[in-house]
């Protein structure tokens, strides 16, 4: 199968349906659709900073989890061998993923916040940043968090790159993370920059034993849309099985940290349980 497929073609796993163990060879080329949660993120320069000083923060109630019910996002279609967009449905499970670090300014604060809330997340790390900050790689692992491979240099055109270049980005990132961890950890998950997937990217996941991981709730915090936007998006879009996308690297993450300080306790109070993909 070839040609672009809308990012509305999300994976939904319900009940005992197992999540994908790897990547196969029969895949479509998937690109982001900008009108739904989970579209591509291109770095801090893509959008101006938006502050929240113009109006008071309004915190909507979080969606309450319903035991045994994991509603998929609109238009969800499961693709065999494709990226994981949802957790298996156990009624209350959700996941937090944190991209583009580690960052010496924001990753320690993110870790402090998660420790305060008793939440374990999955940090999708850029290899060159992991190599530059091995202390933070170790601290993430010491906190009980998982680390995913997010390429070595975060190329946003990865879906158009040749197989050799894609392989090099993935393999180099895995090696950098493993070395930074002291040789004790090698990622099992891969998140493609911008959520850009192709048959080549997925094929290289399979070649390297990496399981492709995407997301289902994207408040576009990378663009600094304002704390209000981040808070509202997460609390109104999160349902059982959701995988939430946030960032600790790639620019100023003050809004992200402020918003998570609000939404994480509210999600827990609503009855959600944080799990790892």
CA 244 to chain CA mean position, Å: 6
Sign of the alpha-carbon torsion through 188, 153, 94, 13: negative
Assigned token pair, 35: 């009108």
Q: Do 32 and 10 form a contact (C-beta atoms < 8 A)?
A: no
Coil, strand or helix at 247: strand
Q: Distance between CA atoms of 198 and 4, rounded to whole angstroms?
A: 9
Q: What is the DSSP letter of 93?
A: E
Identify whether 102 is preceded by a cis peptide bond (ω within 30 of 0). yes
Assigned token pair, 138: 């170790």
Annotated catalytic residues are 99, 247
- For the chain, the farthest-separated pair of C-alpha atoms sits apart, in whole angstroms, at 50
Q: Distance between CA atoms of 192 and 203, rounded to whole angstroms?
A: 13
Assigned token pair, 7: 């990012």
């Amino acid at each position: 199968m070839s040609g672009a497929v809308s990012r509305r073609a999300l994976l939904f796993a319900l009940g005992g349906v197992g999540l994908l163990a790897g990547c196969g060879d029969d895949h479509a080329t998937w690109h982001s659709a900008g009108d739904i949660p989970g579209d591509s993120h291109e770095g801090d320069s893509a959008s101006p900073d938006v502050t929240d000083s113009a109006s008071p923060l309004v915190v909507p109630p979080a969606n309450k989890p319903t035991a045994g019910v994991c509603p998929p996002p609109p238009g969800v279609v499961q693709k065999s061998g494709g990226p994981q967009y949802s957790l298996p449905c156990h009624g209350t499970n959700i996941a937090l993923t944190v991209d583009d670090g580690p960052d010496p300014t924001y990753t320690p604060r993110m870790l402090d916040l998660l420790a305060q809330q008793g939440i374990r997340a999955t940090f999708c790390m850029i290899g060159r940043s992991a190599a530059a900050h091995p202390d933070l790689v170790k601290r993430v692992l010491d906190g009980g968090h998982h680390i995913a491979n997010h390429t070595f240099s975060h190329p946003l055109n990865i879906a158009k790159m040749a197989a050799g270049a894609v392989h090099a980005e993935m393999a180099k990132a895995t090696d950098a993370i493993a070395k930074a961890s002291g040789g004790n950890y090698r990622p099992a998950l891969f998140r493609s920059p911008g959520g850009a997937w192709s048959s080549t990217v997925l094929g290289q996941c399979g070649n390297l034993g990496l399981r492709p991981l995407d997301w289902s709730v994207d408040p576009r915090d990378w663009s600094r849309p304002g704390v209000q936007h981040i808070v509202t998006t997460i609390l109104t879009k999160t349902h059982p099985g959701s995988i939430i996308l946030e960032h600790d690297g790639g620019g100023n993450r003050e809004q992200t940290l402020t918003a998570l300080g609000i939404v994480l306790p509210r999600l827990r109070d609503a009855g959600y349980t944080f799990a790892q993909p």
